[in-house]
Amino acid sequence: MGEKVVAGAVDLADRRDYRDKLRECLVGLGRLLDEKRFDRPKNLMGLEIELNLAGPDGMPRMMNAEVLERIASRDFQTELAMFNLEVNIAPHRLGGRVLDQLAEELRTGLGYAHRKANEVDAGIVMIGILPTLSADDLVSANLSDVDRYTLLNEAIVGARGEDFVLDIDGVERLTCTSSSIAPEAACTSVQLHLQVTPSRFADVWNAAQAVAAAQIAVGANAPFLFGRELWRESRPPLFQQSTDTRPPELQTQGVRPRTWFGERWIDSAYDLFEENLRYFPPLLPIMNEERPLDVLDRGGVPNLGELVLHNGTVYRWNRPVYGIADGVPHLRVENRVLPAGPTVTDVIANVAFYYGLVRALAAESRPVWSRLSFDAAARNFDTACRHGIDARLEWPRRGRFGGTEQVPAVTLVRDELLPLAAAGLDAWGVEPADRDYYLGVIEERCARRTNGAAWQAATYHRALESGLARDAALAATTRRYAELMHLGEPVHTWPVGLPEPAVPLG
């Protein structure tokens, strides 16, 4: 949904015509794949991070337009709500010192944005869900003033036909309703792009799905919403429920949600785009003049604008992306699993773990998805979101006897996945010192059984034990988190609890 969308009236015939145009785009994609028109491998990766604006008191600030005006950089853009920003890092080639380069670019960019936000009494907080958000903050009046968000909200609300129900049962239970998709804005994530050739797409996507649970287990950073302690990574259930176009009757019938892990391993990128058309009615039937098959007949490359727009309204945790660069089409896997934060070092450690692991798993002769059911991968994802670093995951047994077993996530990551990630980074040609440093951060999280969510929860409970009320404890935890985030040491080194109050002299 990053593309510009212009508002306009939509009638009944438009929807039928749009469906026909989507089918034409899908045929065009199939022809591009059959004719092998896609870009050659370039080992390109990209990175986007969604951010929160909060004041010195830890409370959200609804002022992204003012902050963006001061930042005045194309690298920073609006996001769904007025307390959100997004930073985009230009594509990099995987290899060499890329991890340290990414870290330096992020530190520079976020530091600059934070200083500009400080000028209007706000600051940047990189976290999965800002703990101080209330239901009153997440209303349609606080959506960013951008056509595409207004249209998307109207389309999803119209498709559902009634209030959204949030019901998340975790450490505590949250139940509430919303008349708009605004609660989705609470979810701030890291999106990792990997450009792949069509022949490698299915292997990379399947690998990314298989390791999504491990990513969440070591990277969870969203334990709170609306004053309640929920799942260690509460973004996925919140995202699904706050964009759910299905009233309860359609849920009972088994209609698929638009925010969705998926239901099968795939053989081609085409499978995912075809599923999008088969299962999901268009939300934004906005057409352009291009006739993709005519463009192909003339030897050109179609934009497939309708297919791209529709794909942007199906919220897979690993999403296929079709794009064109320098007149040549390409495919990307967009990994949307990770929460933002806690620090730049932690983000780059998560980046290293993902790109290394996907490279290694996609190249295995007996790939993990041939030995693990898709249902088990989906259950693993749910379990990791609930329990974070303490999750137990189902994984194929090593050795000749086969089958699967339940294993602590920290054991799986430390003993099996980190060595694979290291081998994958070697295959990309990443500098060994950077490989060891950033994967060492993941190893330390496993050794200390801590991540952003664990630190937040532990610090919040210490604050409660010190006598603070719930809201004050969440605000104090958020302020301390922001302070440590900007200091920049990885989260496994953070002391739990609030700093001791200064003792007055005299």
Split at pLDDT 50, 70, 90, the class of 501 is low
Largest CA distance in the chain: 86
Q: Are strands 164-169 and 123-125 parallel, antiparallel or unpaired?
A: unpaired
- Examine the pLDDT at 10 and tell me if it is beyond 80: no
- Residue 11 has what pLDDT? 67
The number of CA neighbours under 13 Å toward the Cβ of 430 is 31
- Examine the pLDDT at 164 and tell me if it is beyond 50: yes
> What are 325's strand-pairing partners?
328
pLDDT tens across 206-227, in order? 999 999 999 999 999 999 999 9
Task: Give the global pTM.
Answer: 0.94
What residue type is assigned to position 422 of the chain? A
Given a contact cutoff of 8 angstroms between Cβ atoms, the answer to whether 193 and 45 are in contact is yes
- Examine the pLDDT at 376 and tell me if it is beyond 50: yes
- In angstroms, the CA 291 to CA 217 distance is 45
Q: Which two tokens stand for residue 391?
A: 């999750």
pLDDT tens across 46-78, in order? 999 999 999 999 999 999 999 999 999 999 998
pLDDT tens across 338-347, in order? 999 999 999 9
Question: CA torsion, points 349, 350, 355, 358, in degrees to nearest 10?
Answer: 130
* 3-class DSSP state of 425: helix
- Residue 42 has what pLDDT? 83
- Residue 506 has what pLDDT? 44
Q: What is the mean pLDDT of residues 414-432?
A: 98
- Examine the pLDDT at 401 and tell me if it is beyond 80: no
